[in-house]
Amino acid sequence: MDRKIVIGRQDGGTVLLHFLYNGLGLSHGEIKRLKFSDGIKIDGKSVTVRHTLAVGEVLTLCPPQKSSENIPLCDIPLDIVYEDGDILAVNKPSGLAVHPSAGNREQTLAGAVMNYYKNTSFVFRAVSRLDKYTSGIVVVAKNAPCAYKLCREFEQNSVKKTYVGITERPIDPPKGEINAPIARQEGSVIKREVKKSGKPAVTAYETVETQREGTLLRLYPLTGRTHQIRVHLAYAGCPLKYDFLYGREEEGKHFLLHCQGLEFSHPSTGQRLVLTAPAPFLKAGKEDF
């Protein structure tokens, strides 16, 4: 759905790029996608982001439609946490990738959601995502305007996220905050590392319980970097158990990390929405293992 904004007096004389960033709060990625799809128009005509806005002009943003035609359908039952006309939230199991990839196209969450809506015109817009072996809540927007709003909320770190995970050993101190920038590891496509030149990353945590099998932590990522929790725990000297990238791999086993809760503003009503999903590796009704 296109978005139209009439330029008011306070924004007259502003460079369009600055208005998109500061006035509308769009991310660099959102602006880039709009530019490449010729989705930025003033009074119906295409303009560059260097355009200087004038009072009374009508700015139209035309978000590109994401094609879901190349997502193979798969008949996997969905564990639905929440659903309304704008949002679908599901509890993704460990071992299921969110999107199709070169080595894994047939069994994905995207395919399961598309199968769930196979009798409707539906575009898969996941506004949150998890690693293949991280279980928990994934939020899917049902329309483009809601996708834009939710993506901005995640990018601006205004979504409250709660995870639980089991580490190889206790963390010291048992409660605290890991503040360490994260960057892609040189020579690797997927692996990240703590590096001074990286992007800011902060993870708060608290110990729930320590047993012989490991230590259960509750984790609150305050930023949203790739592999953030896994990288930070390894940096702190207590990687997740069985983490094949950042800890000690054990054949046939996978790390235990779960997105247990998300709290954010509903894109249509503005009301705070609190979603929860129990971790499959914890005992029913208890935060122990």
Catalytic residue numbers read 131
Q: For residue 159, which of 245, 244, 222, 219 has the smallest C-alpha distance?
A: 222
In this structure, the number of other CB atoms found within 10 A of the CB of residue 83 comes to 14
- Provide the residue count of the chain: 289
First to last CA, the chain: 46
Judge residue 160's burial from the number of C-beta atoms within 10 Å of its C-beta, 0-12 exposed, 13-18 middle, 19 or more buried.
middle
Question: Could you say which DSSP state residue 23 is in?
Answer: I
| Closest to 199 in 3D by CA, of 237, 164, 227 | 227
What is the per-residue burial (b if ≥16 Cβ within 10 Å, else e) of 111-139? bbbbbbbeeeebbbbbbbbbbbbbbbbbb
Helix (H, G, I), strand (E, B) or coil at 145: helix
